Amino acid sequence: MNKKTDYMETAIIHSGYDSSKFQGSLNIPLYQTSTFAFDSAEQGAKRFAGEEEGYIYSRLGNPTVTVLEERIARLEGAEKGLAFASGMGAVSAVLFALTKTGDHILCSQGVYGCTFGLLELMKEKYNVDHDYCALATKQEIEQSIRPETACIYIETPINPTMAIIDLETVVEVARKYDIPVVVDNTFCSPYLQRPLELGCDIVLHSATKYLCGHGDVVAGLVVGKASFIDEVRMTTQKDIGAIIGPFDAWLLLRGMKTLPLRMDRHCESAQQIVEKLKQHPKVKSVYYPGDHEHPQHEIAKKQMKQFSGLISFEIEGSVETCQQFMNSLDMIQIAVSLGDAETLIQHPATMTHSVVPEENRKKMGISNQLIRLSVGLENVNDIWADLEGAFSKL
């Protein structure tokens, strides 16, 4: 789209695509091909040498994927974007690109279970160390930084505790020490939060979640400065190979068109469910950034447009109590993803974060009684009726 727009609702439908370059096709064509033919041997040589633009092989670039990469860059306000076969493909590519043996990664107090596993692997095999920190104050951040700290890696909201990190505070300290700040923006999508505008350097997504929104794609996205994205594309993506397929990119582009509408509904329904959970006698605690009693509610208000569709809550009892509650649900599905049209529920301690040792889970605030709910697009009264029915059976 040549016309500039300040509105995401427009950009998410039109940006990165010029139909006049694709025979006037209204929808983005699917280039379902592994490789591209050259007009001549000389042309092939020039493209491999970087002397001529053009596609070579879909692991190195594909027209359908290019539209996706340009669109996510536009939505996040970045110079360039890069698409991956999964969210963890994106996470690993970024962390491998930023670190070398002997380096250190400073992380937010909680991270996704597979990110935790990757960090442990990097420590064991490649001597890249890491520490977890609440990142709550400038003093705390400075005290946690080492001379060998290569990056600060943040989830906000944190999975699954819904704790919030003040990105501007972290950036202020990181700038002082010239350390890049990486933010996993999966729980918010660029519709709710834009970390680059707050001074962060790199943003990544499990695009499987809200960006796709339909539960039919596994994908990851990264945005940042062109120099960094080009480096990742030609090293830790090209040579390790976590490449998104063109059909997945096409499905993701289709799903993204409705992101603003979906996110408004997710957020509105989640807020209503939170108010009901807080009043329920069998609910011990509720964790949601949009709750005025949330300890970082003011920070969330400052850096988020709305508060997402993810809720975590604790119920009285044991792991078995949580399992009984989830097994008593009818419409709500027990599944570990989020951001789908369907409402999903899971038990982090035995599912997404089961790889994290119990002692570490406790430090992260993940108790055995914690349940994570991804509020879907169904009528909110039906969602609550299902939850209330399960509570009644405890």
Question: Residue 294 sits in a domain of what CATH number?
Answer: 3.90.1150.10
Look at residue 76 in the predicted model and tell me its pLDDT. Answer: 98
Look at residue 3 in the predicted model and tell me its pLDDT. Answer: 58
Residue 355 inside a domain? The answer is yes
Domain boundary among 256, 286, 316: 256
pLDDT (tens digit per residue) in 22-40: 999 999 999 999 999 999 9
Residue 1 inside a domain? The answer is no
Residue 2 inside a domain? The answer is no
Exposure class string for 261-298: b at 16+ Cβ within 10 A, else e: ebbebbbebbbebbeebeeeeebeebbbbbbeebebbe
The low-confidence residues of the chain, meaning pLDDT below 70, are 1-3
Look at residue 360 in the predicted model and tell me its pLDDT. Answer: 94
Number of domains in the chain: 2
CATH number (domain holding residue 27):
3.40.640.10
Domain boundary among 256, 286, 319: 256
- Would you please indicate which residues are annotated as catalytic (active-site) residues? 59, 112, 184, 209
- Do 157 and 248 lie in one domain? The reply is yes
Domain boundary among 210, 239, 256: 256
**Alpha helices, H only, the chain:** 8-14, 41-49, 63-76, 87-98, 113-126, 138-144, 167-177, 189-192, 226-232, 246-256, 259-279, 297-303, 319-327, 358-364, 380-392
- Do 283 and 251 lie in one domain? The reply is no
- Do 206 and 64 lie in one domain? The reply is yes
Exposure class string for 162-197: b at 16+ Cβ within 10 A, else e: bbbbbbebbbebbeeeebbbbbbbbbbbbbbbbbbe
Instruction: Report strand pairing: 129-133 vs 104-108.
Output: parallel
Take residue 84 and report the two structure tokens written for it: 């991956």
Look at residue 26 in the predicted model and tell me its pLDDT. Answer: 94
Look at residue 2 in the predicted model and tell me its pLDDT. Answer: 52
Beta carbons within 10 angstroms of residue 333's beta carbon:
17
Could you give the count of Cα atoms lying within 13 Å of 251 in the half-sphere of its Cβ?
18
Look at residue 5 in the predicted model and tell me its pLDDT. Answer: 81
- Do 93 and 132 lie in one domain? The reply is yes
- Which distant-in-sequence residues (6+ apart) come within 8 Å of 49 by Cβ? none
Task: Give the residue numbers spanning the domain of 313.
Answer: 259-392
Predicted model pTM: 0.96
Residues 370 and 160 sit within 8 Å (Cβ to Cβ) = yes
Residue 209 inside a domain? The answer is yes
pLDDT (tens digit per residue) in 307-321: 999 999 999 999 999
